[in-house]
Structure 1
Amino acid sequence: MSDRRAPRQTFVGAGLFALALSACTLLSAPAHAADAAKPANGLQSLAELDGKAPSRRQLNVQNWKTAEGARVLFVEAHELPMFDLRLTFAAGSSQDAGTEGLATLTNAMLNEGVAGKDVTAIAQGFEGLGADFGNGAYRDMAVASLRSLSAADKRQPALKLFADVVGKPTFPEDSLKRIKNQMLAGFEYDKQNPAKLGANALSSKLYGTHPYAFPSDGNAKSIPGITQAQLRAFHAKAYAAGNAVIALVGDLSRSEAEAIAAQVSAALPKGPALPAPAQPSEPKPGITHIDYASKQTHLMLAELGIDRNDPDWAALSLGNQILGGGAFGTRLMSEVREKRGLTYGVYSSFTPMQVRGPFTINLQTRAELSEGTLKLVQDLLADYLKTGPTQQELDDAKRELAGSFPLSTASNASIVGQLGAIGFYNLPLTWLEDFMQQSQALTVEQVKTAMNKHLAADKLVIVTVGPKVPQKPLPPPTEKPADQPLGVPEH
């Protein structure tokens, strides 16, 4: 759950990822409307690019720590009279400590009440100032964001309200009952959602007893028993200043940014950063089938991937883009949809997190072709690991990355998301440029080596969701499949 209009961690490579966060797979991660800076000399025609990658915004990232220990990352951007503020806490479901759904419920309750204001008054307060509040909770992190006009008469009251909401929520009982009921209704809906059933089973099989194994939203047994006292205790520990990264982008001077960061940090509980979860153990490969009445079968394949600081991330990101991380033209899409018409879409992704996140392949196909389609996908992965990408595939992927890379800094909202992730995962301030340079320098052999280092075709954990029906042989590959395409998403 809980993506209450918060900007997703949009990370180049990861988020050309889901965002992946994503992803109704193993990680949950929507962006605000873009507010691109207006260039001094506008592009009049695509022909002006003349084969070159579009120019991208150069970021001067400033950083410091508040007196309470929060890390701050700041980029001045005076093109628009507004600013974006994003707080990122190590307060995701990996910190639930056995009370599943506690992190999500705590985050969902932030803007339900503060001293003297209920949820309606809080919403009206932000709206009356032209400000926008967002929040969300995921596996690793929880976030709270504010977008506001930068003029002092709007900025200051918006910041005061934001600081109260994030730092001093009251967790009112009536709101707690309402949100619990909403979550319980969601669990009932999930029983009719084969993709959700499969994703939850895949997480469990892949991670066992590790915190990443459990749904971030909790379940119908855990949510009803969570109390106000538990919410307050979790907030005091996980929303502490020492556990926070403050990202700021917008029409602010350094002194104004320092004042904002100090105000927000001082409003938070006092406390240190929380440790990351332990690394997960290797799972046992195998196939789990969930019976579900349908004309189609969901196929979900996974194995443990990498953590966010792995030095092979650039090579893996580009390698996955060629395998199944893009749209049309990937190995998987070409062979499974375009040549055989077996699915509407097939996608692969790495989701690096604080510790080893998942590598996944997802698709759905006609039930009577599910076994053959699954074997085809497994064979395609095995062949790709054996042969690696072609030089042409690598060149095309580099060109595509260079063309889409400017989107990572096209708006203040996208930049503040990047800064939050850089701070949260303790990446270098130059990470965006470093990633681009590393990606463009990669060779075919380096990509192949990295993919084989971290993936193996015989280590897949597989979950299928659909009916048990007699199987039919797959149609042969052709440039014009007779059925085009199968496996249109049902949910």
Structure 2
Amino acid sequence: MSERNGLRYGLLGLAALILLGALALLASRPASTPPTPPSATPEAAAGPAKLESLTALKGQTPSRRALEIHSWRTAEGAKVLFVEAHQLPMFDLRLTFAAGSSHDGATPGLAMLTNAMLNEGVPGKDATAIATGFEGLGAEFGNGAYRDMAIASLRSLSAKQQREPALQLFTEVLGQPSFPAEALVRIKNQVLAGFQYQKQNPGKLAGLQLFQRLYGEHPYGHPSEGTEQSIPPLSAAQLRAFHAQAYAAGNVVIALVGDLSRGEAEALAAQVSAALPRGPALPPPPAPQVPKPGLSHIEFPSKQTSLLLAELGIDRREPDYAALTLGNQILGGGGFGTRLMAEVREKRGLTYGVYSGFTAMQTRGPFMISLQTRAEQSAGTLKLVQDILRDYLATGPTQQELDDAKRELAGSFPLSTASNADIVGQLGAIGFYDLPLSYLEDFMQQVQNLSAAQVKTAMAKHLDPDALVIVTAGPTVAQQPLPPPTDKPAEPALGVPEH
């Protein structure tokens, strides 16, 4: 269960209130002009001009919402990051705990199940009462568990009459979950049903085997959602014990964005922190051992074969993070126009899509290339992907590829702070991975300063084409040769993947 989002925006009347409040604020407040980028002309600095097309940027980096991030710790040891934003009469609160499946220990699925049960009951309220409570206030609760972390979030109107009861209910859910027996049985059954679905999904089966081969006995190696064997015996007592340890105030980052003053934000964070169990931060997972490379195959009746290629990548504090992000954007992280997409889909029509990416985590997360292709051309497609990676690591990007990737990242990066929900997610990551408060500004500056030689060096330093762990899932069939590359492939690309 990758994420369970509890809830619903609320009553139409309250939605209208939000809209009216926003219009009133906009009408009473002068328009804010984003900071002038260094390359802007004096004419641009004189006032905002209407942008008729992207060509009007003339190579300039699009402006991004400037953020003033405040940070402090609560009395109980919780780290807080706050951005004041009065454009809308709302606030977004996100709690990030070091409570992901890497802390499951010998009981896979413990972290996921604990997080899934948070809003199933508190003293005096069942799941329906909790859901109705948030909904009646026009508030939204969300939660989810992953390998590194578990999260819980609240979005609410910032007016005191809505904020205070929403926050009170949120602190009850986070601090006093009752883990009712009937809800535990129901969620276990949902998870077990999900395992049955996984058996019909070759891509999922390949992913599970890939992580097991990549990490072995390391905490990242077992499935985040647990297994058919581990879920049934998990008890409410185990969930309570995990909650008391992993949902402690010293083990959380509180990210907060919205229509609040610094004083209101401090009071809100203090209330949340005080409601959590007492305890210190949990240690990060150990460094994984380098896995044995090679190919393994899962036999599966399908017209397509899923291909996954991976090796250990980087942790989130890696100094080469910007160079690797830019390098991967060129290889396979940017959709159409990447090396992989051009060679595998556009020139040969072998797949609907092929993608690559680094998943940077508390310790070395995976670098992965993934695609689906026709079963009868899977061997040739696999070799083609390996050859593309090998060539890219040997030659590096061209200057044109580098310039295009920089432009694409510069154009898309402002979206990472386009809304309060986007910002609160960024703050949670900055706090959880202990990044500098200036990270958002630093990252884009680092990207723009990179040369093709620096990107080539970073990619070759962190990736080895001979170290790939490869998992394929599909039928064993006679193989056919690949078509030659052409601007107009003889056969169109495959449709949407089967699974």
SS at match of 1:459: coil
Q: Distance in 1 between matches of 2:287 and 2:122?
A: 37
**Residues 6 and 140, structure 2, Cα contact 8 Å, conserved in 1:** no
Q: Does 1:263 pair with 2:271?
A: yes
The Cα shift of 1:405 comes to 1.0
- Equivalent residues in 2 for 1:196-345, closer than 5 Å: 196-345=204-353
The Cα shift of 1:44 comes to 5.0
Greater RCO structure (CA 8 Å; 6+ sep):
1
SS at match of 1:55: coil
- Equivalent residues in 2 for 1:348-367, closer than 5 Å: 348-367=356-375
Whichever residue aligns with residue 45 of structure 1, its letter is E
Percent identity, please. 72
- Equivalent residues in 2 for 1:50-89, closer than 5 Å: 50-89=58-97
Q: Distance in 1 between matches of 2:471 and 2:455?
A: 28
- Equivalent residues in 2 for 1:61-460, closer than 5 Å: 61-460=69-468
Q: Distance in 1 between matches of 2:485 and 2:168?
A: 62
Q: Distance in 2 between matches of 1:308 and 1:419?
A: 14
**Residues 205 and 461, structure 1, Cα contact 8 Å, conserved in 2:** yes
**Residues 85 and 260, structure 2, Cα contact 8 Å, conserved in 1:** yes
Q: Distance in 1 between matches of 2:308 and 2:70?
A: 42
CA deviation map 1:393-436 (0-9, x unaligned): 00000011111111011000000000000000000000011000
Q: Distance in 2 between matches of 1:471 and 1:44?
A: 52
Q: Distance in 2 between matches of 1:396 and 1:462?
A: 30
Q: Distance in 2 between matches of 1:167 and 1:45?
A: 51
Whichever residue aligns with residue 4 of structure 2, its letter is R
Q: Distance in 2 between matches of 1:2 and 1:335?
A: 32
- Equivalent residues in 2 for 1:39-54, closer than 5 Å: 40=32, 43=50, 45-46=52-53, 48-54=56-62
The Cα shift of 1:6 comes to 8.2
Whichever residue aligns with residue 155 of structure 2, its letter is R
**Residues 293 and 467, structure 1, Cα contact 8 Å, conserved in 2:** yes
**Residues 6 and 131, structure 2, Cα contact 8 Å, conserved in 1:** no
Instruction: Quote the residue 2:12 is aligned against.
Output: none
Q: Distance in 2 between matches of 1:376 and 1:97?
A: 39
Q: Distance in 2 between matches of 1:201 and 1:465?
A: 10
Q: Which runs of 5 or more residues in structure 1 are unaligned? A: 8-34
Instruction: Quote the residue 2:19 is aligned against.
Output: none
Q: Distance in 2 between matches of 1:487 and 1:287?
A: 26
Q: Distance in 2 between matches of 1:267 and 1:46?
A: 50
Q: Distance in 2 between matches of 1:461 and 1:237?
A: 35
Whichever residue aligns with residue 450 of structure 1, its letter is A
Q: Distance in 1 between matches of 2:64 and 2:290?
A: 40
Q: Distance in 1 between matches of 2:496 and 2:97?
A: 38
Whichever residue aligns with residue 5 of structure 1, its letter is N
Instruction: Quote the residue 1:4 is aligned against.
Output: 4
SS at match of 1:344: coil
Q: Distance in 2 between matches of 1:100 and 1:164?
A: 26
Q: Distance in 2 between matches of 1:442 and 1:179?
A: 48
- The CA RMSD over aligned residues, in Å, is 1.6
The Cα shift of 1:42 comes to 7.9
The Cα shift of 1:162 comes to 0.2
CA deviation map 1:336-356 (0-9, x unaligned): 000000000000000000000
Instruction: Quote the residue 2:39 is aligned against.
Output: none
Distance 1:361 1:128, change over 3 A: same
The Cα shift of 1:98 comes to 1.1
Distance 1:51 1:447, change over 3 A: closer
**Residues 296 and 487, structure 1, Cα contact 8 Å, conserved in 2:** no
Instruction: Quote the residue 2:10 is aligned against.
Output: none
Distance 1:187 1:43, change over 3 A: farther
**Residues 6 and 136, structure 1, Cα contact 8 Å, conserved in 2:** no
**Residues 347 and 486, structure 2, Cα contact 8 Å, conserved in 1:** yes
**Residues 113 and 169, structure 1, Cα contact 8 Å, conserved in 2:** yes
Q: Distance in 2 between matches of 1:200 and 1:170?
A: 32
The Cα shift of 1:2 comes to 3.2
Q: Distance in 2 between matches of 1:162 and 1:126?
A: 9
SS at match of 1:158: helix
The TM-score with structure 2 as length reference comes to 0.91
Q: Distance in 1 between matches of 2:151 and 2:207?
A: 23
Whichever residue aligns with residue 442 of structure 1, its letter is L
SS at match of 2:486: coil
Q: Distance in 1 between matches of 2:339 and 2:361?
A: 25
Instruction: Quote the residue 1:25 is aligned against.
Output: none
The Cα shift of 1:51 comes to 3.7
**Residues 100 and 219, structure 1, Cα contact 8 Å, conserved in 2:** yes
Q: Distance in 2 between matches of 1:195 and 1:50?
A: 43
Q: Distance in 1 between matches of 2:369 and 2:113?
A: 29
Instruction: Quote the residue 1:24 is aligned against.
Output: none
Q: Distance in 1 between matches of 2:204 and 2:457?
A: 33
SS at match of 2:352: strand
Q: Distance in 2 between matches of 1:365 and 1:352?
A: 27
CA deviation map 1:132-172 (0-9, x unaligned): 00000000000000000000000000000000001110000
**Residues 342 and 487, structure 1, Cα contact 8 Å, conserved in 2:** no
Q: Distance in 1 between matches of 2:63 and 2:331?
A: 27
The Cα shift of 1:5 comes to 2.7
